[in-house]
A and B are shown apart, each in its own frame.
Chain A
Amino acid sequence: MRKAIAILLLAIVGYYFINVFIHMPFGEKREGVGKYYLENTVKETGAANVVTAIVVSYRGFDTLGEVTVLFLAATGLGAILFGKRGEKRRLQGASVIVKTTSMMLYPMVVLLGAYVFVHGHLTPGGGFQGGAIIATGVLLMFMSYRHFNVSHNALTWIESLAGLTFATVGLIGLALGTTFLQNFLPLGTPNDLVSAGIIPIIYIAVGFKVGAELTGVLDNMLKTIR
């Protein structure tokens, strides 16, 4: 009964969705705020990667909010699972081959993550991606070593400092210029590593923050005893 109703309702919704998107041809050029961003990003922010410029500069305040949401989710997870943490993990350690390989891969993965968020304004990638990649690196170690531990203190410090950096940079922009997160550093030449003003600083901070938070989430989930 429930399934029939659900299928009926979803069929109606799906039909109308399809109808709507028939009227919205695929792959055609659309004018909008995107056009402005594409034409002015390099001039205004000095970042080669327009997506990065939007995330960090044009919609930087939004990103601060999203980072906060992420932080709240990580904290909330900790609160939900509070009191269920135990050091006793029944995971068996992996075989020697896996252990050795992950030992060799781990620094490289972390390095890749760092590379991704340091070059966020030049190449695809940035703080969010780099942070996620670092977290996968940590995950690799979690899976292969029984006693691999991350220090919660360190995670908290990294997270707080990164968040503080973000807010401080924004406030300096407010103090020196007119708006929160206004650029106050020289833009440099596009496609240089040191360019685009405050964008790399913020994206690096975001990278640290996201990496630390996702690691914290994983740690919280893994350390929960059944």
Chain B
Amino acid sequence: MLYYIGAISLILIGMYAVLTKKNLLKIVVGLSIVDSGVNLLFISVGYVKDATAPIFSMPSLTADKMVDPVPQALVLTAIVIGLATTAVALGLVIRLYDHHKTLNINKIRQLKW
């Protein structure tokens, strides 16, 4: 339960940053916090009490005493993809800064009409 609360708070805090912060880098930070929160949520949904990791390294381990491996497999790739997208976002931020000499989205008015 504690894990759920932690994950949901991370998601909400990240979303708050995305919705209200004016600094582009802060928005990307917020996105990466949301990312972490979602990952934690996934893994904690897959957890089973008193179970082991889903690796048959010893003959004594049995399948019904293991946590759900599917969320783990999903989160594993999600983290790597998250890094890649963050990198792309930061590249865009650098480019925008280059062009406008500011990170404040209120001053970057190219999308506005």
Contact = CB atoms under 8 A, between A and B. Distances in A.
Taking the complex as a whole, does A directly touch B, i.e. does some CB pair lie under 8 Å apart? yes
Interface stretch (A105-113, A122-130, A138-146, A165-173): A122-130
Given A6-B20, A63-B77, A80 B91 contact: yes
B80 A210 contact: yes
Given A7-B16, A14-B8, A48 B76 contact: no
Contacts of A213: 84
A4 B42 CA distance: 29
Contacts of B108: none
A155 interface: no
A167 to B, nearest CB: 18
Contacts of A88: none
Contacts, number: 143
Given A13-B12, A24-B45, A39-B63, A122 B87 contact: no
Please classify the interface of chain B as helix (H, G, I), strand (E, B), loop, or mixed, using the class held by over half of its residues. helix
Contact of A27 (B5, B48, B53): B48
Contact of A217 (B73, B84, B95): B84
Given A51-B76, A122-B57, A32 B70 contact: yes
A80 B12 contact: no
Lowest 8 A-B CB distances belong to which pairs? Answer: A73-B84, A27-B49, A50-B54, A34-B68, A54-B73, A38-B63, A6-B19, A80-B91
